[in-house]
Amino acid sequence: MDYFHSVTAIPTVAIIAFPLLFLFSFLWISRRNKNSKKTAPEAGGAWPIIGHLRLLGGPQPPHISLANMADKYGRMFTIKLGVHRALVVSDWEIAKECLTTNDKAFASRPKLASSELLTYNRAMFGFAPYGPYWRHMRKIATIELLSNHRLELLKHVRESEVKTSLQQLYQLWNKKRSANSDKLLVEMKGWFKEVTLNVIMRMIVGKRIPNSSEGVEQLKWKKSMDDFIVLSGKFLISDALPFLRWLDIGGDMKCMKKTGKELDQVVQGWLREHKQKRAENKANGEEDFMGVMLSILSDREEHHADTINKATCLSLVLAAEDTTSITLTWVLSLLLNNRDKLSKVQQELNVHVGKDRLLVTESDTKNLVYLQSIIKETLRLYPPAPLSVIHEAMEDCTVNGYHVSAGTWLIMNLYKIHHDPLIWANPFEFQPERFMTTHKDIDVRGQNFELVPFGSGRRMCPGVSFALQILLFTLANVLHWFEFETPSNEAVDMSEALGITNSKATPLEVHITPRLPGIQTRRKQHQKLVERPSLPLRRARTTSHKLWLAWLTNIKRIFSIKLGVHRALVVNNWEIAKECLTINDKVFATRPNLACTELMGYNRAMIGFAPYGPYWRQMRKICIIELLSNHRLNLLKHVRESEVKTSLQQLYQLWNKKKSSKSDKVLVEMKRWFRDVTLNVILRIVVGKRIPNSYEGVETVKWNPKAED
């Protein structure tokens, strides 16, 4: 009976188990098919363990090697870098999909040895992983340094540094030129580096590095910066195979530690100076970015705050100096190899600026269309970061129909995209004219993926506006001031160096000669001002501005006068006034100590009479934010409307009261009425009360004369 029961039970078990087995098999097969989604093709030539790493460490730049692989394996393929898989994109449409549809998925950075040892353990926000820290630091850098508003406020720094560098270059030419020739051999690659470095240093730490031609010791600092660029662009075996990191094959990690320490010592010195000035209340002039960071990070633990401050400031200095000077060098190199283009852009300067003017202004650069096209074409041929900085996928995504797993690295070959013959006719030729004709609508700000030298999406370079401004302004002025030619008219070597950025491998030595006839005669800094004949100190009936106007037929546009023991500079020309209040704005920012400002201005406590310094900056900032900002003025709109309405009603009531039966006209003194209206508006805003209109006959009589006095 038991046997029968067990035998008859077998079909029952089978009937139940078979559907379960079928369901399990179906789910297993489905899961397997799901996990074996279509992936991008892998390039051949991978070696065991290290994969394709050897292909990126050869004598030619990695972007050239990957471009050659794209010709063989297509516009999108994968390579293996040790334990990591990397997706290589060489097509603008796929790049657009990565940085728009999948922008957030690819918004992070991989953890590399260089980003740990050179960037304060990824505290430099350009190398930081995607997250709150990266967003916060990028926001601070953008608002406090790289926004259009801040760049406009700091325009005088760019103008001052470029002007100073041009003057130094001219003085070097004037000092070292020979009697037999007006030509002087200059290494322009280093000159461009110093100009851009001083501009960004002034903006970030409020100081400049003296020009190397002055013989100042800057070699160690500059070598460390160059080493940073080279080392941060290396593909290390320890990145591909983390378990071999302790061996430090090739010794690159040791070099990274040394370079990081050398750079930190310099930046620590900057930070120490800022803290000391702040402690002694010696802040002078407009606060630089490092000072702003000290204020923003004041609530954090000191060591942590110092690391963030140093990392952020150093990353901005390195990125701005290197990429900008690289592009300036490539532009001049291309122009020297294409002399017809050089002549054409200098002719454009003659037309829109003229040889009678020494400096090209930033407003002039808007009209230099051909120079703008030259910069675009240079960025196309030689993008500062030809492979972009590596992205890392934070989550699974689909690109061009292929599955991309989380953790995959994304390498965009901008060099290959910029040389695509389907987009660019004669892609390897220098043709700026294309951006005035067939490609005139293509910009470099990340919206046209055929040309993205600064990247696009969340991780796009935040300094694109700064870069374009300094490129245009520096190039316009140096091409305006000097003629350039190579020794023996030989072609410029266009070979590229290795590194994260695409720098010129060899120096750029050129002969320079002054181009403007006025440079040698207009030495403004040595001109002696015309002094007008002294006048007796007396109380004249004629107003001071009319007295000046009476002299205008006999004076120059700038002269000095003596007011007792004081000397005063009188400016009667808008261009000189602009120079005083832009380039020399900080120099002329204070007020003299007069008896009236002491006795009637609460000993110069009124901000309009206060000397330039921390007190004036703080009070002005408070007034603007709490009273005069657009936001506050909009909130107080009802006060203006109410007071104007009330004053009009009072004026109407006055008319209605005093009009006679013979005439509807009433005589009113409007100067006083306008004074009452404006006074009541500002009093309501400032102290919350109004002084009754003088027509109401109350005690405004005493207040008004005192205010006038």
Binding residue positions for heme: 461
The one-letter amino acid code at 109 reads R
Q: At what angle do helices 302-336 and 464-481 cross, to 10 degrees?
A: 40
Residues with Cβ < 8 Å from 4, sequence gap 6 or more?
A: none
Element (H, E) at 14: helix 2-35
In one-letter notation, the amino acid at residue 55 is L
d(CA 139, CA 133): 10
The DSSP secondary structure of 389-433, one letter per residue, reads SPEE-SS-EEETTEEE-TT-EEEE-HHHHHT-TTTSSSTTS--GG
Tell me if residue 254 falls in helix, strand or coil.
Answer: helix
Tokens of 692: 């009754």
Return all residues near 50 (Cβ < 8 A) that are at least 6 apart: 81, 82, 237, 240, 241
Q: Residues within the annotated binding site?
A: 461
Closest CA to 231 of 252, 251, 246: 252
Contacts with 138 (C-beta within 8 Å, 6 or more apart), sequence order = 125, 462
Which of 211, 198, 207 is closest to 171 using CA atoms? Answer: 211
Give the amino acid at 400. N
Distance CA 367, CA 665 (A): 56
**Long-range interactions of 366-371: CB distance < 8 A, separation 24+:** 368/472, 368/476, 369/436, 370/344, 370/345, 370/432, 370/436, 371/345, 371/472, 371/475, 371/476, 371/479
